[in-house]
């Protein structure tokens, strides 16, 4: 099949390739909501069964691809388990995967990142997700798709993530730029010292599709993230929106981005770690 340069495809491209026997479509949605009691996470299995892109399988990133023996939600499972889950979903080494979600794209980029973390690069993100598919007048289906099991080989790339220890060192390292992908109000409540704020919501258009490369370069250049003398490390609250920022940085020309997967959840777990809070009197960050 004809491959786009950036790992991003639109609804028309996907519709044209639905019959490709080596194409695998994955609904990567996780339901995340907030109220006065904090964040709430729920499986999107029922949402998937109610409506999905024809031929799509569902991969539960919370229940199936996250460890359950750590307090940090969405900590990736080991490579062996990852390969088992993807293989059971019918995804093999020679397949091309298109991921999408029902929300704002961050769950699709999370699975895009996780696949890349495990050494698999034949993965694309559907620009605008299910909403863009439906806006194009394309049909959906209900029920569950089950594909024959396949062999998926995981080859982890440790350089795609940084640890808390490395982030602590990065605070005083001019060669690393910490990019916080949370909303400005969340950034203002406290962030890792030296961070710049590039909210993931600023990287997409009103319809949820990614801004063009020129606009993204302008945003990231203003933040200093395109400086060849630094390596960007993205983070957020729990490592999800950080992957959207990493994907947008790739679109802007940076292929060397790392993720601080524990993000603010792990950073603030130890109250001795420093937080930077802008002084509102200074009209700060």
Q: Quick check: 37 pLDDT over 70?
A: yes
230 and 259 assigned to the same domain: yes
CA atoms within 13 A on the CB side of 271: 0
Q: Could you tell me the pLDDT band of residue 2, with boundaries at 50, 70 and 90?
A: very low
pTM: 0.94
E strands present in 189-270: 196-197, 231-235, 258-259
d(CA 7, CA 148): 25
Q: How confident is the model over 76-122, as pLDDT tens digits?
A: 999 999 999 999 999 999 999 999 999 889 999 999 999 999 999 99
**Predicted local distance difference test score (pLDDT) of residue 283:** 47
**Predicted local distance difference test score (pLDDT) of residue 5:** 65
| Domain limits for position 244 | 161-282
Q: How confident is the model over 161-185, as pLDDT tens digits?
A: 999 999 999 999 999 999 999 999 9
Q: What is the DSSP letter of 56?
A: -
Residue 178 included in any domain? yes
Directed axis angle between helix 241-251 and helix 106-117, to 10°? 80
Residue with tokens 């302008």: 218
**Predicted local distance difference test score (pLDDT) of residue 280:** 60
Residue 19 included in any domain? yes
Active site residues: 236
140 and 222 assigned to the same domain: no
15 and 142 assigned to the same domain: yes
14 and 27 assigned to the same domain: yes
Specify the higher pLDDT residue, 15 or 70: 15
Q: Could you tell me the pLDDT band of residue 4, with boundaries at 50, 70 and 90?
A: very low
| Number of structural domains found in the chain | 2
DSSP character string of 125-140: EETTHHHHHHHTT---
d(CA 247, CA 244): 5
d(CA 28, CA 112): 9
Mean pLDDT (whole number) for 230-246: 97
Tokens of 238: 């729990």
32 and 45 assigned to the same domain: yes
């Amino acid at each position: 099949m004809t491959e786009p340069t950036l790992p991003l495809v639109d609804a028309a491209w996907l519709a044209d390739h639905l019959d490709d026997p080596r194409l695998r479509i994955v609904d990567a949605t996780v339901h995340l909501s907030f109220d006065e009691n904090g964040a709430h996470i729920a499986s999107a299995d029922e949402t998937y069964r109610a409506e999905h892109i024809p031929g799509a399988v569902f991969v539960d990133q919370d229940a199936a691809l996250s460890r359950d023996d750590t307090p940090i939600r969405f900590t990736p499972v080991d490579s062996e388990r990852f390969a088992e889950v993807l293989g059971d979903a019918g995804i093999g080494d020679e397949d091309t995967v298109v991921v999408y979600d029902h929300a704002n794209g961050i769950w699709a980029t999370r699975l895009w990142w996780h696949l890349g973390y495990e050494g698999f690069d034949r993965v694309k993100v559907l620009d605008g997700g299910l909403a863009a598919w439906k806006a194009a007048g394309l049909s959906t289906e209900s029920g569950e798709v089950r594909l024959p099991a396949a062999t998926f080989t995981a080859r982890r790339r440790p350089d795609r993530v940084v640890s808390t220890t490395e982030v602590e060192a990065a605070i005083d390292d001019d060669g690393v730029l910490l990019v916080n992908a949370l909303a400005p109000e969340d950034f203002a409540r406290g962030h890792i010292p030296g961070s710049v704020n590039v909210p993931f919501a600023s990287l997409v258009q009103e319809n949820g599709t990614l801004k063009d490369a020129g606009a993204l370069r302008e945003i990231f250049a203003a933040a200093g993230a395109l400086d060849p003398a630094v390596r960007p490390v993205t983070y957020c609250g729990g490592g999800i929106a950080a992957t959207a920022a990493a994907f947008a940085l790739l679109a802007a020309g940076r292929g060397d981005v790392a993720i601080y997967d524990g993000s603010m959840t792990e950073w603030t777990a130890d109250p001795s770690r420093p937080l930077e809070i802008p002084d509102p009197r200074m009209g700060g960050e």
